[in-house]
Amino acid sequence: MRELPIKYGCNPHQKPAKIYMKNGELPLSVLNGTPSYINFADALNSWQLVKELKEATGLPAATSFKHVSPAGAALGIPLDETLKKAYRIENDNLSPVATAYARARGADRVSSYGDFIAISDCVDVDTAKLLSKEVSDGIIAPAYDSEALQILKAKKKGGYVIMQMDPGYVPEEMESKDIYGITLEQLRNNAVISKDSFNQIVTENKNLPEDAIRDLLIANITLKYTQSNSICFAYNGQVIGCGAGQQSRIHCTRLAAGKADIWMLRQHPKVLSMRFKEGLKNAVIDNAIDLFLRDDITEVELKEWENLFEVVPEKLTLQEKQDWFKIFGGVALGSDAFIPFRDNIDRAAPRSVKYVAQPGGSVRDEDVIRACNEYGMTMCFTGLRLFHH
């Protein structure tokens, strides 16, 4: 099949719409549901991300996409008991594929509400069972176990979007898009991000362990498919905060760091011991935790929030939060373009960032290097800008 009609484009008034190939057959098929224009945009971007993560690391990969940017991305690395509880995982023997999904979805659970999922490997029953409990629009993967496929087909009253991607598909080198009736064309971003991308260490600290390289791979491959400007924090095999689509890089860093804050604090004993009223859905619990961790909750929100608990928890103090952040050592940070001012490093340092990868090339590179040296960070210049629009 070379062409598929779409109900409408980005908005209901944008008709007609379709997805098609200029040459050859479509490398994907729709196994269930009626995908939207945005579903296809998320699917094609997210598939590239997990495909590259799998190729770079050899491990199963998953990502959770919203509006053509990742809310989370991760590898199939086992979960410790704290993360299992924070992610509400009851299965003690999750498959690596399911673990990758759990980590990707757990990075930013509020943003992942109604997401589109991409999985690098065959979707198994473990993964399908986890996904069945979450609010999600669709999934793309190279294959599905028969039982897993039936579980997913039952989502959304039978309307859950399920796509199957040809893992051997290789796109043409040149790509184009139309803006205001004018066609832009460019070489597809086929840059390969590998362990060698981090060889140029420019700081006094040259220490870059294998775990840090793995997390820098995750951060930078994620940035390759994140709307620019963007900053990504990664830790222990997964994204923990992604700041996307901001006009200022420091705003990207603040956004990514703020999301990393929430991810870390979700594992605090006070959060893990919360007692919610019975029957609440995951999304309601996720929003309640988010409100609990915010400092700017309004009186109206507070009143609604208190009604969700069996016992209303005591809010975390600033000191408790700062002490908790210190537990997480060795966070990796990736930047899709050069870091122009040291304020980005100053904002990242209190969140245990120890490893930084950025293209370099700013007139203030020395200021940024000096800031990293002050904090004992290891920073690499990749020489590779990763803008995505």
| pLDDT tens sequence across 350-378 | 989 999 999 999 999 999 999 999 999 99
Give 15-56 pLDDT, tens digit per residue. 999 999 988 999 999 999 999 999 999 999 999 999 999 999
**Quick one: 309 and 338 in the same domain?**
no
Give 227-261 pLDDT, tens digit per residue. 999 999 999 999 999 999 999 999 999 999 999 99
Q: Which of 67, 85, 129, 156 is catalytic?
A: 67
CATH code at 310?
A: 1.10.287.440
pLDDT confidence band for 291 (50 / 70 / 90): confident
**Quick one: 233 and 358 in the same domain?**
yes
Q: Does 91 have pLDDT greater than 90?
A: no
229 belongs to the catalytic site: yes
**Quick one: 257 and 122 in the same domain?**
no
**Quick one: 238 and 150 in the same domain?**
no
251 belongs to the catalytic site: no
Q: Which of 39, 229, 236, 287 is catalytic?
A: 229
Instruction: Using alpha carbons, select from 260, 267, 262, 254 the residue that is nearest to residue 239.
Output: 260
**Quick one: 219 and 309 in the same domain?**
no
DSSP helix, strand, coil percent of the chain (3-state; round to 5): 40, 20, 40
- Count Cβ atoms below 10 Å from residue 184 Cβ, excluding itself: 10
Single-letter amino acid, residue 287: N
Q: What is the pLDDT of residue 307?
A: 86
Flag whether 171 is in a domain: no
Share of the chain above pLDDT 90, in %: 88
Q: Which of 51, 54, 66, 259 is catalytic?
A: 66
Q: Which of 13, 22, 157, 389 is catalytic?
A: 389
| Contacts for 185 with CB less than 8 Å, ≥ 6 apart | 174, 175, 176
CATH code at 131?
A: 3.40.140.20
DSSP E strands in 120-197: the ranges are 136-141, 161-165, 174-179, 182-187
DSSP E strands in the chain: the ranges are 3-6, 17-20, 28-32, 61-66, 69-75, 115-119, 136-141, 161-165, 174-179, 182-187, 230-235, 238-244, 331-335, 353-358, 378-381
Give 194-234 pLDDT, tens digit per residue. 999 999 999 999 999 999 999 999 999 999 999 999 999 99
Flag whether 21 is in a domain: yes
Instruction: Using alpha carbons, select from 377, 261, 274, 235 the residue that is nearest to residue 322.
Output: 261
- Reported pTM: 0.95
Pair 369, 342: CB distance under 8 Å: no
Flag whether 388 is in a domain: no
Q: Does 292 have pLDDT greater than 90?
A: no
Residue-range definition of the domain harbouring residue 294: 275-315
Mean pLDDT computed over 117-136: 96
13 belongs to the catalytic site: no
Question: What is the average pLDDT value for the chain, to the nearest integer?
Answer: 94
Flag whether 178 is in a domain: no
Q: 146, 165, 184 — which closes off a domain? A: 165
CA gap 249, 229 in Å, rounded: 6
Q: Does 299 have pLDDT greater than 90?
A: no
67 belongs to the catalytic site: yes
DSSP state of 12: T
In terms of phi and psi (left: phi > 0; alpha: psi -120 to 50; beta: otherwise), the region of 181 is left
Q: Are strands 238-244 and 230-235 parallel, antiparallel or unpaired?
A: antiparallel
**Quick one: 10 and 89 in the same domain?**
yes
Pair 138, 64: CB distance under 8 Å: no
Flag whether 91 is in a domain: yes
Of 298 and 235, the one with more pLDDT: 235
Give 61-80 pLDDT, tens digit per residue. 999 999 999 999 999 999 99
**Quick one: 227 and 367 in the same domain?**
yes
CA gap 280, 278 in Å, rounded: 6
Flag whether 53 is in a domain: yes
CA gap 138, 385 in Å, rounded: 30
Query: E strand or H helix at 48, and its extent?
Result: helix 37-57
Instruction: Using alpha carbons, select from 271, 263, 273, 267 the residue that is nearest to residue 288.
Output: 271
**Quick one: 255 and 284 in the same domain?**
no
> How crowded is the C-beta side of 88, counted as CA atoms within 13 Å?
16
HEC profile of 310-346: CCCCCCCCHHHHHHHHCCCCCEEEEECCCCCCCHHHH
**Quick one: 11 and 158 in the same domain?**
yes
**Quick one: 307 and 336 in the same domain?**
no
Flag whether 340 is in a domain: yes
Burial 320-341 (b: 16+ CB within 10 A, else e): eeeebbeebeebbbbbbbbbbe
Mean pLDDT computed over 275-283: 89
Q: Could you give the number of structural domains in the chain?
A: 3
Residue linked to tokens 């023997």: 93
Single-letter amino acid, residue 294: R
**Quick one: 236 and 280 in the same domain?**
no
Q: What is the pLDDT of residue 295?
A: 79
**Quick one: 154 and 93 in the same domain?**
yes
CA gap 351, 380 in Å, rounded: 19
Flag whether 126 is in a domain: yes
